[in-house]
């Protein structure tokens, strides 16, 4: 690629990086072979990096994803509320493979050897890489709530990894009798999708209002405030009066401590609540494979350099999405996609001498609280040496009209179509 | 981020003297930068969108795009997301995006 003089000046850092890569013997020995990128995880972060890098044509891209379909955690609450079908939130990897040149491998990655620069699959196959992107999302801290293990999650679903758990939670919600108590345990920060539990509460309330109006929702929170709190609580008062009770951490001395799935009790430091159904969202960490690869620090999340999304702990490995501690960016699909574009640009500059651009980050989260009633929150971010820093944020206004709330709901739907299309179509 | 100095520098390097500003068209169009920036747009703007909510912007005439950005910046037009987007773009970036979107194909 011929670069103009101005580009050389504009893009000096990228050229330096490119030169370093060329001299570092990280390219395959065979001159004609392309450098190899392996991406672990086919959610919005991993799939976006894979597609963006593959579309440039200069890098051989392999995406390792266990599942043949991906059900989005974002908008899965709308399925719970009856606003969307399960099929409408489920996508596949066919277009990534056939239209966008990504080598999609449906297998479970079980380990990374950063010295040999290989990824080991469950089958025993190893995939060599020049650069690795890890987008493993979250895992749960099963030891954090006594009695809440993977078996308990079959009775009191978390539904915080979408798919089978999402269907299970819908069945649990639908089985609650009129007048029954539904308990939601919300985790402390940081966790995936900060408005997620509260949009979910709204959607469950929407279902109850139509089908079992005497039922109640008790929210036992492990924190004292939450995303879009004033907006959510005002909406609950207006659309579901008397139905939702929220208990901050101070009231219960830290939220849910234990569950008993035999007696269907949800237990705090001082009280036991008998539930007709429950949704327990446990505390979270980075996906286990990232922790095992020494990419996480003591927080359980993975620190990265803000300008490239490169790991601060392991060379030639990048991370995007919910597994990272990015600073001010929330763990959201929108954030993951935004980080993925910066990461893809950095990798293309590094591996293929493509032009490097200044990192840009953005997030917006739309939440539906009732029919034609949407809320949104968002921000611009910039990379600093320490973190990804919020520079300009917004939140739906408390006094805005129903017409604006309706257009926000419509905007959310349009975003979902564009966003999943950009990644999976 | 405003990069007016960089813009002039690039124009000089190419031997093209433009009058500057987002509507200055021609050989100085930075389509690579525009393509990079447009990846931010496609997170929300569907090139195949026909319905409500968020419009398609691929193929938009550059004068329309530049005017929209100016209106979102000034508050003459209001949407929280677009206000934030417009505020985050300097004149050179608006020009690059406008040039890229105008010539981009609707299919992707």
Interchain pair B43, A419: CB under 8 A:
yes
pLDDT at B20: 46
Query: How many contacts does A have with B, using Cβ atoms within 8 A?
Result: 92
Instruction: For residues A296 and B15, give the distance between their C-alpha atoms in angstroms, rounded to a whole number.
Output: 50
Mutate to test the interface with A, among B31, B39, B57 (most CBs of A within 10 A): B39
Least CB-CB distance to A6: which of B10, B51, B53?
B10
Interchain pair A415, B33: CB under 8 A:
no
Q: Say if CB B48 and CB B84 are below 8 A apart.
A: no
Interchain pair A379, B84: CB under 8 A:
yes
Nearest-5° angle of CA A274, CA A279, CA A284?
125
Is A360's Cβ below 8 Å from some Cβ in B?
Answer: yes
Distance to chain B for A281, nearest Cα, Å: 28
The mean pLDDT value for A178-199 works out to 98
Whether the predicted pLDDT of B10 surpasses 70? no
Instruction: For residues A248 and A222, give the distance between their C-alpha atoms in angstroms, rounded to a whole number.
Output: 7
Whether the predicted pLDDT of A31 surpasses 60? no
Residues 6+ apart with CB under 8 A from A42: A50, A63, A64, A65, A67, A70, A93, A96, A104, A135
- Kind of pairing, strands A126-128 and A118-121? antiparallel
Instruction: For residues B77 and B95, give the distance between their C-alpha atoms in angstroms, rounded to a whole number.
Output: 19
pLDDT at B26: 57
- Span A122-137, pLDDT tens digits: 999 999 999 999 999 9
Is B43's Cβ below 8 Å from some Cβ in A?
Answer: yes
Residues of A in contact with B58 (CB under 8 A): none
Mutate to test the interface with A, among B11, B33, B36 (most CBs of A within 10 A): B36
Say what angle helices B4-13 and B91-103 make with each other, to 10 degrees. Answer: 60
Sign of CA dihedral A376, A226, A190, A390: positive
Sign of CA dihedral A418, A422, B2, B8: negative
Interchain pair A414, B49: CB under 8 A:
yes
Q: Say if CB A185 and CB A280 are below 8 A apart.
A: yes
The residue that leads in pLDDT, B2 or A173, is A173
Instruction: For residues A266 and A296, give the distance between their C-alpha atoms in angstroms, rounded to a whole number.
Output: 31
pLDDT at A93: 98
Residues of A in contact with B8 (CB under 8 A): none
Is A403's Cβ below 8 Å from some Cβ in B?
Answer: no
Query: Closest Cα partner for B58 from A50, A418, A102, A53?
Result: A418
**Residue A175's pLDDT band (boundaries 50, 70, 90)?**
very high
Mutate to test the interface with A, among B42, B52, B80 (most CBs of A within 10 A): B80
**Residue A109's pLDDT band (boundaries 50, 70, 90)?**
very high
Interchain pair A394, B84: CB under 8 A:
yes
pLDDT at A313: 97
The mean pLDDT value for A92-112 works out to 97
Distance to chain B for A182, nearest Cα, Å: 34
Is A341's Cβ below 8 Å from some Cβ in B?
Answer: yes
**Residue A250's pLDDT band (boundaries 50, 70, 90)?**
very high
pLDDT at B47: 87
The answer to whether the pTM exceeds 0.80 is yes
């Amino acid at each position: 690629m011929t670069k103009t003089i101005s580009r050389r000046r504009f893009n000096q850092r990228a050229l330096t990086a490119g030169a370093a890569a060329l001299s570092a013997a990280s390219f395959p020995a065979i001159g004609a072979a392309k450098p190899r990128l392996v991406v672990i995880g086919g959610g919005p972060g991993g799939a976006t990096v894979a597609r963006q890098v593959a579309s440039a044509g200069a890098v051989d891209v392999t995406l390792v994803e266990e599942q043949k379909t991906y059900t989005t955690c974002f908008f899965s609450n709308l399925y719970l509320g009856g606003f969307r079908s399960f099929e409408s939130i489920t996508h596949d990897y066919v277009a990534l493979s056939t239209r966008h040149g990504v080598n999609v491998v449906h297998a479970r990655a079980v380990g990374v050897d950063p010295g040999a620069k290989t990824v080991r699959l469950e089958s025993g196959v190893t995939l060599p890489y020049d650069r690795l992107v890890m987008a493993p999302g979250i895992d749960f801290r099963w030891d954090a709530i006594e009695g809440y293990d993977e078996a308990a999650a079959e009775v009191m679903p978390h539904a915080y990894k979408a798919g089978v758990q999402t269907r299970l939670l819908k069945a649990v919600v639908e089985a609650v009798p009129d007048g029954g108590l539904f308990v939601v345990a919300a985790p402390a920060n940081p966790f995936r999708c900060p408005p997620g539990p509260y949009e979910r509460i709204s959607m469950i309330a929407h279902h109850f209002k139509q089908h079992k109006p005497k039922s109640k929702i008790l929210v036992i929170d492990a924190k004292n405030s939450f995303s879009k709190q004033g907006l959510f609580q005002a909406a609950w008062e207006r659309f579901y009066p008397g139905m939702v009770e929220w208990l901050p951490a101070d009231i219960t001395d830290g939220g849910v401590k234990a569950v008993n799935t035999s007696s269907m009790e949800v237990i705090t430091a001082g009280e036991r609540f008998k539930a007709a159904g429950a949704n327990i969202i446990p505390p979270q960490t980075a996906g286990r494979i990232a922790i095992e690869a020494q990419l996480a620090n003591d927080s359980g999340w993975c620190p990265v350099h803000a300008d490239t999304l490169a790991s601060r702990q392991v060379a030639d490995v990048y991370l995007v999405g919910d597994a990272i501690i990015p600073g001010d960016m929330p763990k959201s699909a929108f954030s993951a996609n935004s980080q993925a574009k910066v990461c893809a640009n950095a990798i293309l500059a590094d591996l293929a001498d493509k032009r490097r651009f200044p990192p840009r980050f953005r997030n917006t989260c739309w939440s539906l609280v009732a029919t034609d009633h949407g809320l949104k929150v968002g921000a611009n971010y910039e990379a600093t040496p320490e973190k990804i820093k919020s520079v300009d944020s917004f939140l739906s206004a408390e006094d805005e009209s129903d017409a604006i709330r309706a257009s926000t709901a419509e905007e959310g739907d349009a975003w979902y179509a564009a966003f999943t299309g950009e990644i999976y179509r | 981020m405003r990069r007016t100095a960089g813009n002039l520098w690039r124009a000089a390097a190419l031997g093209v003297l433009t009058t500057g500003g987002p509507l200055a068209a021609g050989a100085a169009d930075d389509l690579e930068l525009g393509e990079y920036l447009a990846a931010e747009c496609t997170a929300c703007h569907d090139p195949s969108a026909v319905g409500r909510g968020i419009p398609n912007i691929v193929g938009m005439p550059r004068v329309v795009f530049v005017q929209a950005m100016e209106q979102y910046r000034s508050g003459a037009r209001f949407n929280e997301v677009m206000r934030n987007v417009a505020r985050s773009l300097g004149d050179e970036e608006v020009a690059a995006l406008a040039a890229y979107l105008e010539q981009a194909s609707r299919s992707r």
